[in-house]
Every structure is written in C-alpha cells, then in structure tokens.
Amino acid sequence: MTIGFDILTGEKISFTHDRQYKGKNVISFPDDYCVIDIETTGLSPDWDSIIEIAAAKFHKGNLVDTFTSLIKPDDFTTDESFLDDFIVNLTGITDEMLSKADSTALVLSKFYSFIGNSILVGHNVNFDINFLYDNCEHVIHKYLSNDFIDTMRLSRRIHKELNHHKLSDLVQYYNLSYENAHRALSDVEITSKCYICLVNEIIEKYESLEAFSKACRRSRSGVRADDISTSKTDFDTSNLLYGKVCVFTGTLEKMVRKEAMQIVADLGGKNADSVTKNTNYLILGNNDYCKSIKDGKSSKQKKAEKLKLDGYDIEIIPENVFYDIISEN
C-alpha cells in the first residue's frame, strides 16, 4: 500500500493495486481499436509521473484520428531540475517543454474521452495500462476498464525464433523506419505498423485470425512442467533465471502460463509444478489476491513464505518483476 494525496481535496489517501476494474489482456482482432503509448519519469506508477500521452484511432487498419499531449505533473517545479538526464536524453522532453504543458487532470480527461470504449493496443502495454489506470482512478476518479492487446505478446507467440521482442526488435524484423523513438506519438505510429505486420503474418501462418485465436485458446488449457522443453543449447548464464527452479501461481496478465514456462526453459531455467525446498522463484499471477482465495494467498504462496522463513533460498516475485527479468534478454 502506498500513501498519497487527493489533488482535489488534499486529503491523505492510500493506493492499492487491486485494479479490480482493469480490462483484460486479450488476443483479439477488432475492426476498431486505439493504439496508445506513454512516456514517464520512471518505472513505478507509485512514485513516477506520466509526462506524455499519445493515442491513435484505427478502423480496419486505417488511421481515423490522433491525440497527443505533454503533461505537466502535479509535483512539477522549476526550483530544480525535474527530469533527470537519462529521461531527457531518452525522450528529448525537457523541463521547459513540461512547464508549458497542461495538467495531468486536464490531459487525462481529454485522453479518457478520446479512447472511449475502444480496445487498446500497445507494445508491452501492461506497463502503460497500469500507469494510466492508477492515474485515471486517483486524479480524475474514473476507471480505465478497456480491454487491451499486447503486440509483445503476439510477437512471442509467432516469433519464437527471436531472442528479444522489444519494439525495436520488431521494427528491425519487419524492416520499418523508426524515427523519434521514445516520443509517445512516434511510438504509437510504429506500434500500429508492427501490429498490422503481426496481423498479416498471423493470417499467412494460420490462414485466418480465428484459427490463430482458437490455437491460443487451446494453449490456455492446463500445462505441466514436464510438457515444456527447449531446443536451445546456448544460454546466457548471467541471466537470473538460468539454472533456477521456477513455479507459477495464479493467472498471468500478459501471457498464458505455457508461454511464460517456455521462456523460462529457453533461458536455461527449470519449471516445476509445485513449491518445494528446491524452488528458487515463485512468480505471482494477478489472481492470487482474488476474494475466493482464503487470506488472499494461494497454497503455493503460503508454502513458499514458510520455506523462506525457514531459511530456504526462495524468492517470491510479482509478475512485473518476472517480465523485467526476461526483458533483459
């Protein structure tokens, strides 16, 4: 739980991360969708701020309308440098640019109206969604409940031969031109092109989008550790998952469990179905804290916590940390 302040009342409020009205990460191919991207001052929705938002509406792959705006965060000050050098060099956004921008509340209200109930598309979009959900909830008191499509997730499904699935990797794979990287509208434009390329490739490989969707639904069925193997023999031994025993619990937001287990295997890690004294990592899915689970914890998590207290080398990590680890490759 994080403590913050309601900008409308000045009252102290607590932040939780249930995000109970958050939309679902779906594999879908709607005629109408909205590609989004944000730029931020860091990686944490708790402590960092959104400094730019962009979105583009599409109908059957054709651009309909765009939205883009810089944001002056509520804690912005000219007394000292607000943005660190890394963010300035990465995005090209400066303190002077932010000083002339509209407030978080005003920009979020316009963005919220712009996207409506569209399905949202983005690359590694869960990052953007979490920032936007928390800010919409606490700043303009509205829930961002749109379902969303992650192009990184699609890439992992159809490009298993690729070692990396960053946006720049897809740009290179599809031989696309990519200028002004890490500016929100530029990233929206290139993500939309990658999405269209992915859709076309899915049709080529699976003959239809429905056939691909059915294949994805079949893969959601129960999978055991023994079902996962890898053909790779050359591993990066510096990766945190190399040689480690990993167990998953709950439902992952960004990918089905089979995909995550395959990534572990491809990184030289070992999958297991249950928590034991040999477990090194327990990865917590989003549904571990649902009301139907007593005490808010799965049996795997309770066992892992007991083993950790007993001195065993086991780390209990949330889903987003798992993605941080695998994104380093």
pLDDT of residue 327: 79
Grade residue 85 by pLDDT with cuts at 50, 70 and 90.
very high
CA 2/CA 198 separation, integer angstroms: 38
Per-residue pLDDT at 293 exceeds 70: no
What is the Cα 142 distance to its own chain's centre?
20
Angle 151-158/257-266 helices, nearest 10 degrees? 60
CA 316/CA 329 separation, integer angstroms: 21
Which of 147-161, 249-263, 299-313 shows the lowest per-residue confidence on average (mean pLDDT)? 249-263
Is 186 or 319 the better-scoring residue by pLDDT?
Answer: 186
- In the block, residue with structure tokens 């030289």: 268
CA 48/CA 230 separation, integer angstroms: 38
pLDDT of residue 219: 60
246-265, pLDDT tens digit by residue? 999 987 877 888 889 999 99
DSSP string across 21-78? T---B-----SEEEEEEEEESSS-TTT--EEEEEEEEEETTEEEEEEEEEEE-TT--S
Q: Work out the angle at residue 83's Cα, subtended by the Cα atoms of residues 79 and 87, and round it to the nearest 5 degrees.
A: 170
CA 101/CA 95 separation, integer angstroms: 10
Q: What percent of the chain has pLDDT over 70?
A: 89
> Does domain 2-212 match CATH 3.30.420.10?
yes
pLDDT of residue 20: 87
Average pLDDT over residues 67-80: 94
* DSSP designation for 279: -
Average pLDDT over residues 77-82: 89
Per-residue pLDDT at 102 exceeds 60: yes
Q: What is the fold of 222-327?
A: Rossmann fold (3.40.50)
**Mean model confidence pLDDT for the chain:** 88
Sheet holding 270-271, edge to edge: 270-271, 245-249, 281-284, 315-318
Query: CA dist 76 to 8, 70, 95, 124, Å?
Result: 17, 13, 9, 27
pLDDT of residue 17: 61
Asked whether the beta carbons of 74 and 104 are under 8 A apart, the reply is yes
Grade residue 289 by pLDDT with cuts at 50, 70 and 90.
very low
Per-residue pLDDT at 11 exceeds 90: no
pLDDT of residue 296: 61
**Sign of the Cα pseudo-torsion (194, 163, 267, 131, in order):** negative
Pairing type for strands 315-318 and 119-122 reads unpaired
Asked whether the beta carbons of 161 and 79 are under 8 A apart, the reply is no
Is 164 or 49 the better-scoring residue by pLDDT?
Answer: 49
Average pLDDT over residues 75-100: 94
> Mapping DSSP to helix (H, G, I), strand (E, B) and coil, where does residue 254 land?
coil
CA 55/CA 179 separation, integer angstroms: 17
Q: Give the domain ranges of the chain.
A: 2-212, 222-327
